[in-house]
Structure 1
Amino acid sequence: MGNFAKVRPVGRRRDGRPIYPIKGGAPTLIEQRDEIVRLLQDPSFEGDVEELLQRADEVAGQIEQAQQRDARLRHLQGLVPPGDPQPVPGQRQQPGMQPDEGGIPDPVSAAEAFVRSKALEHFRSSGKQGKFAVQWDGRAAPAGTVTTGTQPQQPTRVPGIIPQNPDFPLLVANLLDRQTSDGTTLEYMRDTSGPVTGAGTWNKAAVVAEGADKPMSGPFSFDLITTTLKTVAHWVPITRQTADDNAQLMGYINGRLTYGLEFKLDREILTGNGTTQMQGILTTPGIGTYQPGVGSTDAKLITVRKAKTQGELALYPPTAVVMNPLDWQDIELDEDANGQFRVIANVTDPGAPTRLWGLTVVTTVAMAAGTALLGGFRTGATLWERQGITILMTDSHADYFTANTLVILAERRANVAVHTPAAFVRITFAPAT
């Protein structure tokens, strides 16, 4: 036994007996590491724990030493002594000079074929100018090459849902005074006495001499307007499973339903018929009108300014003007004889407040092209709301309960009280020439 080197066990079995390496094949560091890790993780290990830990430290040291040796070797191979232009084995070579994955020195791409070509070498050594050709026949990928068909590719899905019609700014309702109604019936007094300017109106105020009779003003006249709050609503069906499992889709649907009500509200404020719909300002009797005279060549910019004067003469100073985007485009792009824009547009900041002649400009497709509405909106009208937007969900519709289908309903109740029609002026632009 003295002629043989002592063989160290690589571990111990559960009964405590040592495990020796197989004769003729010493275990590698990876095999020793994996065996020690397995024994350390084995809760039923009954061998010498201290010896196992000592062996773990020895193997760890040997692995670290091997890593340092490999790092030094790679560093040394990467160094090129002065005067030695040839790369040493293992050194990183210039692009186009690497062997392929199998160690084959032949070029594996057209670029490598070009770099290694004799034609390029001859061209460089000759010092000539011109062009030369390199033929590349290509080479088929070796068997077992991983391709896009090796593993079925998963499609890329963009997160979220992109709406087909992005939200258009809803600004008409924000021009009005907004109040909350206590019931479903809306009654308000509309003053029909007329403006205080001109002869024969209700205002008879005058300077009176001492002892003389004072004039009596009047008569005042009012109309009692009775209407009801109108319900604006719409709904969509959705399965119960979708409502439970897809919160993102639920949020999207709720947002679309809400925007749909706001979108409709802007149009009702302007053009509602007042009977089956809300009361629109443009359909309210008594609002002012302005249209350039026959044959007028007034630009839209000038037309808005003259309509503003008409509103001021009615003693209701205008605060805003609502128009179609096409009409506003004509105004912003209006040029003088020198080609200079008459309206100073802030093209570097589209989010800046838009104003014209001191008026807030609201552009919306709810207003028909060729017309505009100018007025003192908070003075002339009030938006009465019984409730804001309400989102409801139920299965109590038709046979939806047995079909596991729900209804998502969005609704609001509101109406517009145009109590001072004279505060508004409907503008009709002259046709383009």
Structure 2
Amino acid sequence: MSTTTISKIADLRARAAAAAKSARDIAEKADGEDRSMTDAEKTDFDAHMKQGRELLDALMAAKSDADILAQARKLAEDIGEPAAGDVDAQGQVPIRERVKSLGLQVVESQAYKDLLEPFGGPGHRIPDKTRIQSQPIPIKGLFVGGTDTSAGAFVVNEQTGIVEMLGRKPLTIRSLISVRRTASDTVEYVAQTSHTNSAAVVPEATSSAAPTAPGSAGPLVRNPGGGYKPEGSWAFERRTAVVKTIAEWVPSTKRALADVGQLEGLINDELRADISEAEENQILAGNGVGDNFTGVLNTSGIQAQAFDTDIFTTVRRAITKARVVGRSNPTALVVNPAQAEEIDLTRDEQGRFFYGGPQAVGPRTLWGVPLVESETMPAGTGALADWSKAVLWDREETTVTMSDSHEDFFVRNMVAVLAEERCAFAVTRPSAFVSVDLAA
């Protein structure tokens, strides 16, 4: 308890005792003279008694306030600086400013004054049996006095639990291609490399004579009336796609994982998302060097369409190549958001949006082919294809594991959180893909 508080309590106790003694002296004087108190004596007696009661109330309030401050001081000492200093500062503020009594806060409120206005304002009596109701009266807490900051160390920041991440680009390519499972580290598939179609109308045979030997070395000579059927030719080759690993890890402390319940989930989600972003980049643009996929744009045998007049003309010519040369019907045109914006904002000669404008609803198409945006697609380039002719084989879907068996993590109470997936990728029919130059 501070010296100021002790002195204040002692002063109130002495003044209350003095008022009580003065009232007692008046009463004892009248009693000793065996008479009733005179009007003047009664007035002085009542005044001393009233003063004594008021001082007693103030004394009780001061002692209660001192007890609360002592408890607050103990709590603040447990918390440490600056909390202890805040409580010490509160102890130097006058009681009236530091802790207004409930009644004083009520009578000084604007809502209370408004309530009494119809009856003449504060100091006027409200008629008996009158039904009244005031507006809500705000009551400040114990350590809220004359300033907004007087709560000191007892104002605690609210923890919302919100963790706002930076955001991620949408991933669209995996949903376009074929996704299959594999239980092996190497995937084989057979691709046709050539096809000669010799089918033709053939007349019925008019002779059963066998082929004759040639006059010199060479193939047998067939009888012109033999009705022989034309022979076609197909060629195939076996190709392989090797399972690759896409992985990433981050360090964390065991204490952080234990203290923050949502941290492990956040790490897992973010690592999985990083793996998915790397996978999409490999599918589109992997360079085939080392353990990288050979992505669509770097696959040998895909077709190319140069820029011609504008985006719309160029895309239409690419569709022709996909259908005539690639013998496929394109399932999507993948473009960078910059080219998608250019397409959306193109207007005709009357100033109307060519694509339908901001009110257009439904799937976006160009020449009947679905238009798909991907930030992974390089700006100025598009990929038109039957995307089912690209296949991703999942060997192991994305998994997240934790271990302290990394370098000296065990003795440092740290863990490595690792996410990885294993998969293989191949463009099984390259001619079904057309790389489109969309920039003039």
- Would the TM-score normalized by the shorter structure come out above 0.5? yes
Instruction: Flag structure 2 segments of 5+ consecutive residues without an equivalent.
Output: 1-51, 54-112, 127-143, 206-226
Partner amino acid, structure 2, of 1:230: K
| Letter aligned with residue 272 of structure 1 | G
Matches within 5 A, 1:108-119: none
| 1:229 has 2:243 as partner | yes
2:319 corresponds to 1:308: yes
**TM-score in terms of structure 2 length:** 0.61
Aligned letter for 2:372?
A: V
SS, match of residue 282 in structure 1: helix
- 2:385 corresponding residue in structure 1: 375
CA deviation map 1:268-316 (0-9, x unaligned):
1111123421121111111111113xxx4x2212211221121111320
Q: Residues 158-207 of structure 1, C-alpha deviation per residue, up to 9 Å, x if partnerless?
A: 5322112x1211110110111001111122222221xxxxxxx5112222
Alignment partner, residue 355 of structure 2: 343
Q: Does 1:408 align with 2:417?
A: yes
Q: 1:375 to 1:236 in 2, by over 3 A?
A: same
Matches within 5 A, 1:18-57: none
Which sits farther off after the overlay, 405-414 or 358-367? 358-367
Letter of the 2:427 partner, please give it: V
User: Which segments of 5 or more consecutive residues in structure 1 lack a partner in the other structure?
Assistant: 1-23, 26-73, 81-85, 93-142, 194-200
Aligned twin of 1:148: 149
Distance 1:76 1:189, change over 3 A: closer
* Contact kept? 2:285, 2:294, Cα under 8 Å: yes
Moved more, 265-274 or 385-394: 265-274
- CA distance in structure 1 between the partners assigned to 2:115 and 2:439 by the alignment: 87
SS state of the match for residue 162, structure 2?
coil
2:203 to 209, 214, 220: 209
- Residue of structure 2 aligned with 1:271, choices 271, 280, 285: 285
Q: What secondary structure, in the 3-state scheme, does the structure 2 residue paired with 1:331 have?
A: helix
How far residue 77 of structure 1 moved from its aligned partner, in angstroms, is 5.9
Distance 1:363 1:75, change over 3 A: closer
The secondary structure found in structure 1 opposite 2:343 is: helix
Change (3 A) 1:241 1:208: same
SS in 1 for 2:424: strand
- 1:249-398 matched pairs, under 5 angstroms: 249-276=263-290, 277-292=292-307, 296=308, 298-313=309-324, 314-345=326-357, 347=359, 352-378=362-388, 380-398=389-407
In structure 2, C-alpha distance between the alignment counterparts of 1:390 and 1:282, rounded to whole Å: 28
Deviation at 1:375, TM superposition (A): 0.6
Name the aligned partner's letter for residue 323 of structure 2.
Answer: E
* 2:179 aligned partner: 178
Distance across 1 between alignment mates of 2:322 and 2:268? 41
The residue matched to 2:408 in structure 1 has which SS? coil
Given the superposition, is the C-alpha separation of residues 214 and 301 from structure 1 closer, same or farther in structure 2, using an over 3 Å criterion?
Answer: same
The answer as to whether partners of 1:239 and 1:404 remain within 8 angstroms in 2 is: yes
SS in 1 for 2:407: coil
Separation in 2 of the partners of 1:340 and 1:76? 65
Q: Which residue of 2 aligns with 1:109?
A: none
Once the two structures are superposed, what CA deviation does each residue of 1:32-79 show, in whole Å capped at 9, x if it has no partner? xxxxxxxxxxxxxxxxxxxxxxxxxxxxxxxxxxxxxxxxxx999675
Q: Once the 2 structures are TM-superposed, how far is the Cα of residue 413 of structure 1 from its aligned partner? A: 0.5
Does the residue aligned with 1:192 lie in a helix, a strand or coil? strand
Contact 2:241 2:425 in 1 (8 A): no
In 1, are the aligned partners of 2:381 and 2:439 still within 8 Å (CA)? no
Structure 1 pair 203/332, CA: closer, same or farther in 2 (3 Å)?
same
1:163 aligns with 2:172: no
SS in 1 for 2:421: strand
Q: Equivalent residue for 1:427?
A: 436
Bigger helix fraction:
2
Deviation at 1:240, TM superposition (A): 0.8
Q: Work out the CA distance in 2 between the residues paired with 1:385 and 1:337.
A: 50
Give the secondary-structure state (helix, strand or coil) at the position aligned to 1:266.
Answer: helix
For 2:124 and 2:318, the matched residues in 1 are separated by: 86
Percent of pairs with identical residues: 33
Task: Give the counterpart letter for 1:258 in structure 2.
Answer: R
Matched residue SS, 2:175: helix
Shift in alpha-carbon separation, 1:366–1:406, aligned structure 2, 3 A: same
1:229-269: CA deviations, max 9, x gaps? 01000000111111222121211111110000110111111
The CA distance in 1 between the partners of 2:161 and 2:114, in whole Å, is 46
Q: Is the 8 A contact 1:78 1:91 kept in 2?
A: no
**How far is the alpha carbon of 1:414 from its aligned partner?**
0.8
Corresponding residue of 1:36:
none
Alignment check: 8 A CA contact 2:169 2:375 kept: no
Deviation string for 1:380-421 (max 9, x for gaps)? 121111011001111111111111101110000112121111
Query: Secondary structure at the residue paired with 2:341?
Result: helix
2:408 matched to 1:399? yes
Q: Structure 2: how far apart are the matches of 1:192 and 1:144?
A: 88
Residue 53 (structure 1) aligns with: none
Q: Secondary structure at the match of 2:168?
A: coil
When the two chains are superposed, the root-mean-square deviation of aligned CA atoms in Å is 3.0
Tell me by how many angstroms 1:323 deviates: 0.9
Change (3 A) 1:399 1:89: same
Runs of 4+ aligned structure 1 residues displaced above 4 Å come to 74-80, 86-92, 345-349
- Report the CA distance shift for 1:248/1:353 in structure 2 as closer, same or farther (over 3 A): farther
In structure 2, what is the Cα distance between the partners aligned to 1:253 and 1:309?
A: 46
